[in-house]
Structure 1
Amino acid sequence: MHKMQKYEGKVMTESPPLVEQAFERLRKDVLTGVYPAGVKLKIDDLQEAYGISSSPLREALSRLAQEGLVRADERRGFRVASISTEDLADITRMRLVLDVQALAESIQLGDDAWEASIVAAYHRLERVESRLGDGPLQLDDEWGTLHREFHLSLLAACPSERQRKWSASLFDQAERYRRYSARYRTTPRRKSNEHKKIMDAALKRDNEVACALLHDHILGTQRSVLSVLKVMTLEEQS
């Protein structure tokens, strides 16, 4: 959240530090595919694109490397992490370990405020989704943001801050794959009530059902992306 300060009788918004600006802008552009998988992230080009000096950019790139979105090589600099079925499988495996456990603990420990945040997040997501047309899944930044907020709201009562942060990072790494596959998917977009089912089970404190639904939901994302990756691989080989 930006800080507010007074200047000559006016209230002004204080911009976030340059490192944070660089990190957020780079992160968004990596997640949305502005910088495709494997592309080299040259400091000079980034300086020109963002109007930010090299030092904040390097620190932002190092933070992205810690999240797994960028790969660092002392001799070759930074590159966007590659796209592969093995990497997706590893992301999915870790999400199944961390997210499902975090949801179970949230169901056990969550209070009324936790429940209210889930309902509010779902409502915002559902309203945006209802405005999206049918057909191939559209790349919609607002939907992506609200989708993330909904999933993280489910895990918000997990007592481990480290686990919540890891879950958020893994969600973002999976989001990069979802964005990638959405650009090439040709099958009609099918609206589902998967999110509502997960929410309803969580609010009923039905741990077993909610966790099973989240488990299947995460695997469904993997299957959807793998189907596109398989087609892309075949096209590249032909």
Structure 2
Amino acid sequence: MNEVIEVTTQADQVHSQLRSAILSGALAPGERIRMNFVASDMSVSLGAVREALSRLAAEEIVIATAQRGYRVASLSSEELNDLTETRIALEQICLRASIAEGGVEWEASLAAALHRLLRLPEFENGDCLQLSMAWSQAHDSFHTALVSGSRSVWMNKFRSSLYLQAERYRRLSVPLRTGDRDVAGEHRQLCEAALARDAESACALMRSHLMRTSEILLRSPLLMTAERLERAEG
């Protein structure tokens, strides 16, 4: 029993660290994940690494390939377009429901989530290439708070899955941003429209917010380079 608990605990650790490495880009799209290396580097068992990778595969941010183990899921402009449009549609559905159904506790949690997000620096030590983990967590909490008034458990589960997939793209877009984007202002406007119970404005702002991130990446050569490297690696 103790051995099972230890493997599960180790798997939780590996899952968390690999997930962070994938989202941050430290593990690149298409990169192979060598289980022996991970087990040695993190001082955990192969069983724990295998369990963690199975979870990440279920989340579809790593891919299991026959005879080749696991690799980080690839990125593409085609997927980004599909993901963005699907996410916008689902975020808008959840947001409308949240505005219609959320009570005073929802309002309070949303206002608190915005306050925390705006108070934290987006980058580590002012380095625009190093996104703050605390800010990223607060960003996740804010977007979750926006839709937390919705009573649909399944809708919010689907939304969370899409958020995770989109997060890899969003973090890649951060270093490519120009100075004309006011991310804090976008979040503030989203919050204000939601609290004003203005579903039409909130949904329009959500579309604009998500499209801006997508367009930054689609204008850059980054995705084309990633696709070319993956084809070369076969």
- TM-score above 0.5: yes
Does the C-alpha gap of structure 1 residues 54 and 233 become closer, same or farther in structure 2, counting only changes over 3 Å?
Answer: closer
CA gap of 1:59–1:133, structure 2 versus 1, over 3 A, is: closer
**If each structure's helix is expressed as a fraction of its own residues, which one has the higher value?**
2
CA–CA distance in 2 between the matches of 1:116 and 1:106?
A: 13
Q: Secondary structure at the match of 2:120?
A: helix
Q: Are residues 1:212 and 2:211 paired?
A: no
Percent identity between the two aligned chains: 38
Runs of at least 5 residues in structure 1 that lack an aligned partner in the other structure: 1-13
| Corresponding residue to 1:128 among 117, 120, 127 | 120
Q: Equivalent of 1:28, from 13, 20, 27? A: 20
Contact 1:135/1:187 (CA < 8 Å) preserved in 2? no
TM-score (norm 2): 0.84
Deviations 1:120-147 (A, max 9, x none): 1100110114888889565221211111
Which residue of the other structure, out of 36, 45, 54, is the alignment partner of 1:44?
36
- What code does the residue aligned with 1:59 have? E
Aligned positions, number:
222
Matched, 1:100 2:92: yes
Partner of 1:5: none
Aligned residue runs from structure 1 range 1-238, under 5 A: 17-129=9-121, 136=128, 138-183=130-175, 185=176, 187-188=178-179, 190-192=181-183, 193-229=185-221, 233=225
Give the CA deviation at 1:172: 2.1
What does residue 3 of structure 2 align with?
Answer: none
1:188 maps to a residue whose letter is: G
AA in 2 matched with 1:202: A
C-alpha distance after superposition, 1:176-202 (max 9, x if no partner)? 11222334x273374341111110110
CA displacement 1:32-82 (0-9 Å, x = unmatched): 112111110111011012222112221211221122211111321110011
CA contact (8 A) 2:98 2:148 kept: yes
Q: Letter of the aligned partner of 1:191 in structure 2?
A: D
**SS of 1:71 mapped into structure 2:** strand
CA shift for structure 1 position 22: 1.9
CA pair 224-131 structure 1, distance change in 2 beyond 3 A: closer
Sort the Cα spacing of 1:115 and 1:37 in 2 relative to 1 into closer, same or farther, 3 A.
same
- Report the structure, 1 or 2, having the larger strand content: 1
Query: In 1, are the aligned partners of 2:124 and 2:131 still within 8 Å (CA)?
Result: no
Cα pair distance change 1:210/1:137, threshold 3 Å: farther
Q: Distance in 1 between matches of 2:15 and 2:124?
A: 29
Q: Tell me: higher relative CO, structure 1 or 2? Use CA pairs within 8 A at least 6 residues apart.
A: 2
How far the C-alpha of 1:221 sits from its partner, in A, is: 1.2
| Alpha-carbon spacing, 1:42–1:231, altered in 2? closer, same or farther (3 Å) | closer
Contact 2:114 2:188 in 1 (8 A): yes
Distance 2:140 2:151 in 1: 19
TM-score, normalised to structure 1, is 0.83
Question: Are 2:116 and 2:138, in contact at CA under 8 Å, matched by a contact in 1?
Answer: yes
Structure 1 contact 19–56 (Cα < 8 Å) conserved: yes
